[in-house]
C-alpha cells in the first residue's frame, strides 16, 4: 500500500477523532522515555553534542522517508522565516534549556516541570490565537498543575530540585509556549511531516557552531559509543522524528491549548519508565502527583467533548 495514501487517509478520517488523541498519547509516551534516554546519553556526551547528533539522525531518517515514499512537500521561500523562528524556539532554545536543566535534575523532576507548559500556553493562545477556554478546561489545568507540584516534593513537603536545573527547565517552558504559537501558523500551511523535517534541518544548522564551542569547555567522550548509541538513536528517530510528527498532527486538529494539555502525561510516563528502567524510587508523592495529572487531563478535555455531543 502506498504510504503517502495511507498517511493522507489517516489524517482525513475526521469522524474518528480518537486517532488524534491516540497520536497525542503515543507522542507523550515517547517523550516520557526521552528524559531517561537523555540522562543515559549525558553520561558520555554533553547536552549540545547530544542534541546535535540527535537532530542529524532525525534529519537523515526523515529525508530518507519523505523522498523514498515521495511524501516531500515544496516549502515556499516566503515561509522560511516562519520555519526559522519555530526552529529557533524548538529544537534550538528549548533543547538547550531542557538539556542542561535535565542534566542538573532527575528525569521525573525534569518532566514534571516541562508538564507546566499547558498551564502557560492558554494564556499566550488567548492573546495571539484568540482561543478560549471553558471553566472546566481551567479547572483541569489547575488540577494537573497541582499534581506536577506534588511530584516535585518529598514526604516532608520540601522541594527537591537543583535551583540551576529548575531555572533552565522553566526557561524551556517559556520557549515551548513561543514554539506553540509558531507551530499553530505552520500547521495551516504544511503537513506535519514537512514541519518536523524542516525544523530538524534548521535546528541542526543552529547547533553546529554551538556544539563546536561547547566541546571546548565540556568535551564529550565520543569513543564510549557503546554506552550511548542505542538511546541516542532512540532520541533521534523516535523523539525528534516520530513523536514530533504525531504531535504536529494532534496539534493541527486540537489547537494549542487542548493539545498542550497532553504534555501533562509526560511526567506520568517518565515516572513509570524510570521505575522499571533506571529503578528510580516511585514515592507516595509521585504516585499522588500522577493521579492529579490524569484527573486534570480528563477535566480539561471533558468540556470540549460535551460541545461536540
Q: What is the largest CA-CA distance in the chain?
A: 59
Q: Greater confidence, 16 or 230?
A: 230
Confidence of residue 52 (pLDDT cuts 50, 70, 90): very high
Tally of CB atoms within 10 A around 104 = 17
Question: 159 pairs with which residues across the strands?
Answer: 153
pLDDT, residue 308, reads 40
Q: Return the HEC string of the chain.
A: CCHHHHHHHHHHCCCCCHHHHHHHHHHHHHHHHHHHHHHHHCCCCCHHHHHHHHHHHHHHHHHHHHHHCCCCCCCCHHHHHHHHHHHHHHHHHHHHHHHHHHHCCCHHHHHHHHCCHHHHHHHHHHHHCCCCCCHHHHHHHHHHHHHHHHHCECCCCCECCCHHHHHHHHHHHHHHHHHHHHHHHHCCCCCHHHHHHHHHHHHHHHHHHHHHHHHHHCCCCCCCHHHHHHHHHHHHHHHHHHHHHHHHHHHHHHCHHHHHHHHHHHHHHHHHHHHHHCCCCCCHHHHHHHHHHHHHHHHHHHHHHHHHC
* pLDDT (tens digit per residue) in 62-79: 888 888 878 778 889 999
Nearest Cα to 52, choosing from 194, 202, 182, 197? 202
Domain positions in the chain: 24-308
Per-residue pLDDT for 7 more than 70?
Answer: no
* pLDDT (tens digit per residue) in 189-226: 888 788 888 988 999 999 999 999 999 999 999 999 99
* pLDDT (tens digit per residue) in 17-40: 678 888 888 999 999 999 999 999
Per-residue pLDDT for 285 more than 60?
Answer: yes
pLDDT, residue 182, reads 76
**Mean pLDDT rounded to a whole number for the chain:** 82
* pLDDT (tens digit per residue) in 134-180: 677 778 778 877 887 887 777 676 777 777 888 999 899 889 888 87
Amino acid at each position: 500500500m502506498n504510504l503517502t495514501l495511507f498517511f493522507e487517509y489517516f489524517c482525513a478520517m475526521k469522524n474518528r477523532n480518537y486517532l488524534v488523541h491516540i497520536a497525542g498519547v503515543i507522542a507523550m509516551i515517547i517523550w516520557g522515555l526521552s528524559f531517561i534516554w537523555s540522562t543515559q546519553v549525558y553520561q558520555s556526551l554533553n547536552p549540545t553534542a547530544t542534541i546535535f547528533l540527535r537532530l542529524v539522525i532525525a534529519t537523515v531518517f526523515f529525508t530518507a522517508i519523505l523522498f523514498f515514499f515521495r511524501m516531500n512537500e515544496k516549502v515556499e521561500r516566503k515561509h522560511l522565516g516562519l520555519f526559522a523562528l519555530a526552529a529557533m524556539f524548538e529544537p534550538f532554545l528549548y533543547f538547550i534549556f531542557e538539556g542542561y536543566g535535565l542534566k542538573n535534575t532527575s528525569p521525573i523532576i525534569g518532566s514534571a516541570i516541562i508538564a507546566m507548559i499547558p498551564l502557560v500556553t492558554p494564556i499566550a493562545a488567548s492573546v495571539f490565537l484568540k482561543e478560549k477556554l471553558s471553566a472546566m478546561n481551567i479547572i483541569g489545568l489547575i488540577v494537573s498543575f497541582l499534581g506536577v507540584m506534588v511530584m516535585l516534593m518529598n514526604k516532608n513537603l520540601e522541594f527537591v530540585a537543583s535551583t540551576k536545573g529548575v531555572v533552565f527547565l522553566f526557561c524551556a517552558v517559556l520557549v515551548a509556549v513561543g514554539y506553540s504559537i509558531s507551530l499553530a501558523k505552520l500547521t495551516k500551511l504544511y503537513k506535519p511531516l514537512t514541519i518536523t523535517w524542516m525544523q530538524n534541518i534548521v535546528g541542526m544548522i543552529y547547533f553546529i557552531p554551538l556544539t563546536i564551542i561547547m566541546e571546548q569547555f565540556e568535551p564529550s567522550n565520543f569513543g564510549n559509543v557503546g554506552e550511548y548509541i542505542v538511546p541516542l538513536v532512540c532520541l533521534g528517530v523516535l523523539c525528534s522524528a516520530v513523536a514530533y510528527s504525531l504531535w504536529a498532527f494532534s496539534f493541527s486538529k486540537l489547537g494549542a491549548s487542548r493539545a498542550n494539555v497532553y504534555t501533562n502525561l509526560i511526567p506520568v510516563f517518565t515516572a513509570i519508565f524510570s521505575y522499571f528502567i533506571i529503578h528510580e524510587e516511585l514515592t507516595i508523592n509521585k504516585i499522588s502527583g500522577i493521579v492529579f495529572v490524569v484527573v486534570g487531563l480528563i477535566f480539561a478535555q471533558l468540556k470540549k467533548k460535551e460541545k461536540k455531543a
